[in-house]
Chains A and B, each alone.
Chain A
Amino acid sequence: MSHSLVSLACHAYGIAAVVYLAYLVRQSEALAMAGRVLVGGGLVLHGVALFELLDVQAGRPVGMAQGFSTLAFLLLAIFLALDVRYRRPVIGAFLTPLAVAVLLPGLLMHGGQSPLPPGVRQPLLPLHITLALLGLAAFAVAAGVGVMYLLMERQVRAKRFGLLFSRLPSLEFLDTLNRRLVVWGFIALSITLATGAFFVTTTRGWAWDGKSIATVVAWAVFAALVNARIFAGWRGRRVALLTMAGFCLVLVSFLTSYEPASSAAAVMRMP
């Protein structure tokens, strides 16, 4: 049931991606509205499916497939919120294809879920996982916006007044959006790191494995980024590049969560 719902949602996202790419070429309010409805509809189906799963699993997305699926859901939810707030549908042309790319491997990997060992019923674990995914989604959107910034900046600098130049939002808008997303993502990442550290130290003691290194480094990168923005007036190109680098690190930390040897899996297997 839930799998077919997700697959349906994925189709809606796929069509939305095509619609948004068409919007990029030919700006029309009708296309923007179609994209909005498709993403919204997909999110409802997707949300129902995730809710069913989480209900069964006591609030924890388990396994990489569900992780990816939840990530895609959050990413598009953030996009829809941004679209409602700022009315810049063109962002969809960059984020909907990204969401489909995130969701597809999850759909293909379907069936790999295992029942949760009863011992991991940490009360803070759902919060940890939700915030981790939310932060990751915020960074994904920020990285997407960073790509848009770099593209636009190149057009503006090279004085090439083509399609992208006329369609993309202003540099200031993209930079401001990046700042907000990074700040929210950073808060989520900080809480994730704190709760994760708490689990690890209370269960089996802190260990510098791949996951904790990637997460701590990513946190440090974003901490430096937020600081440089606030205190040194950094903005624009280098911030966009750093955001993308930071996102890659967080992604690595996310992927390593599902390695059997990783700490999260270890936590989950703890009796």
Chain B
Amino acid sequence: MELVCIGLSHRTAPLGVRERLALSDTRQVEVLQRLAQSPVEVLWVSTCNRVEVYLSAPDAMAARDRVVEELQSLGGAEARDHLYEHRGEAALVHLFRVASSLDSMVLGEAQILGQVKDAFERGQGAGAVRGELTRACAAAFGCAKRVRTETAIGRAATSMASAAVQLASKVFDGLKGKTVLVVGAGEMGELAARHLQQAGATKLFITNRTLARAEALAAEVGGTPRPFEELFSLLTAADVVVCSTASPVPLFTRENVGAVGKARKGRPLFMVDLAVPRDIDPGVGTLEWVHAYDVDDIQKFVADNAAARAEEAHKAGVLVAQEVARFVKERALREGMPVLARLRQRAEAIAKAEVDRTLASLGDGLSDKQRKSIEAMGRAIVNKLLHEPTARLRAVGPEGEGNRLAGAAAELFGLIEQEAQVAAGLSEDLAPQAATGAKR
């Protein structure tokens, strides 16, 4: 089984490409079911800044090619040029870094972990994430938790929403007395609403296609819910608009925003688009009284903040490396060597020990030729003895009956106890806390 990660992110691909690859939940499940046919496992992580596919498969290259094809058919030929790829341990490191928010546009922002967890749950629900990826994700989440608690990276983190508020303060002299409109009551919308509220926005309107969600969020943050049909009359009154809907086409275009211009009497309008695909058409920003920002603009804005947190990022990077090393070791241990190889290794070790003992007791009187004969005899006994079980185990294969036979062999030859001993010794080395926990 090899782990591969293929994807594109804010680092490699422009917003235009990313938004074509932003699929709805149901479409993601469709794609997952198409790609993840046993034994292939697939995790599809999709946020406004990245689309990444993690896969685990015995024939990783074939699975990889299918994923690339899929990404290309969704995102167009252009998407291929922006793809990056990590394999094996590098893919693990990447997954851990993404979950720990070290690869985020806003370094250390907390949202990404939730998004990866969502992707994980969706994958499990669709049957695309099974044993191998489940373990990798669990370890990545553990790593993210360590990064969050042991470094200061999350503490100073400005989310996209707070960056949006900072940008608004360059257009308006504070948000006091300003009317804010939040379009889309999802997680982003909620964050934005909270930040704007904190920044002193006086009137906060929340609208959503499903009014109930707008009402729920409004009750939580102290805003006024409004039906989605009022969008443009709300726009006339607003000073700041933050949108983050899942709409596949832009809600705001140069025409429909321009139409409210007269009623606004030239009042400036600050619009932030946190959605991918975009809710605000790029043409809107060309209106004289509109200042429109999309997620890429915000990335440019927060680039400075990211630099300031470089040191914490370094610390966090060390943590990630530790966690990856731990995971890799545990995996090697878990997968172990197949029963056959272990059996052979065991038998060869016994034969070698006995041969050595015999040679030692016979002393120096033996010629080289005699020595070699005795060694050859030891190997021959092992080979002859193991020939039949080897052939039988190979014949039945790894699944079902083979599993039972291998288990029996492991038990008969005492291979399981050996593994347990090694595991105990290793886990004591690696995780003293876990070991003490077990003793208690």
Contact = CB atoms under 8 A, between A and B. Distances in A.
Contact of A235 (B171, B268, B291, B301): B268
B5 to A, nearest CB: 31
Nearest to A237: B288
B170 A159 contact: no
Interface string B281-313: 000010011010100010011011000000000
Contacts of A161: 300-301, 303-304
Interface size class of A (residues with CB under 8 A): 10 to 19
B301 A171 contact: no
Contacts of A233: 264-267
Nearest to A169: B173
B102 to A, nearest CB: 22
A81 B33 CA distance: 69
Given A161-B300, A161-B301, A235 B266 contact: yes
Contacts of A173: 173
Contacts of B285: 157
Given A161-B300, A233-B265, A233-B267, A171 B289 contact: no
Nearest to B172: A172
A236 interface: yes
Interface string A236-263: 1100000000000000000000000000
B300 A171 contact: no
Interface in A188-221: none
Highest count of chain A CB atoms <10 Å: which of B171, B172, B174, B285: B171
Contacts of B264: 233
A156 B173 contact: no
Nearest to B239: A172
Nearest to B265: A233
Contact of A156 (B171, B267, B289): B171
B266 A165 contact: no
Contacts of B268: 171-172, 235-236
A236 B174 CA distance: 17
A156 B170 contact: yes
Contacts of B171: 156, 170-172
A161 B293 CA distance: 12
Interface string A139-161: 00000000000001000110101
B403 interface: no
Interface string A168-191: 011111001000000000000000
Contacts of B265: 232-233
A161 B300 CA distance: 8
Contacts of B115: none
A51 interface: no
Highest count of chain B CB atoms <10 Å: which of A152, A232, A235, A237: A235
Contacts of B266: 232-236
B307 to A, nearest CB: 12
B289 A159 contact: no
Contact of B173 (A157, A159, A170): A170
Given A171-B268, A234-B266, A236-B268, A157 B291 contact: yes
Given A165-B170, A170-B170, A159 B297 contact: yes
B339 to A, nearest CB: 61
Nearest to B291: A156
A113 B235 CA distance: 61
Highest count of chain A CB atoms <10 Å: which of B265, B267, B285, B293: B265
Contacts of A235: 266, 268
A233 B172 CA distance: 17
Given A170-B173, A171-B170, 16 more contacts: A156-B171, A159-B300, A161-B301, A161-B303, A161-B304, A165-B170, A170-B170, A170-B171, A171-B171, A171-B172, A172-B172, A172-B268, A233-B265, A234-B266, A235-B266, A236-B266
24 contacts: A152-B170, A156-B170, A156-B291, A159-B293, A159-B297, A159-B301, A161-B300, A161-B301, A169-B173, A170-B169, A170-B170, A170-B173, A171-B170, A171-B171, A171-B172, A172-B268, A173-B173, A176-B173, A233-B264, A233-B266, A233-B267, A236-B266, A236-B268, A236-B288
The list of the 4 closest CB pairs from A to B, nearest first, reads A233-B265, A233-B266, A173-B173, A172-B173
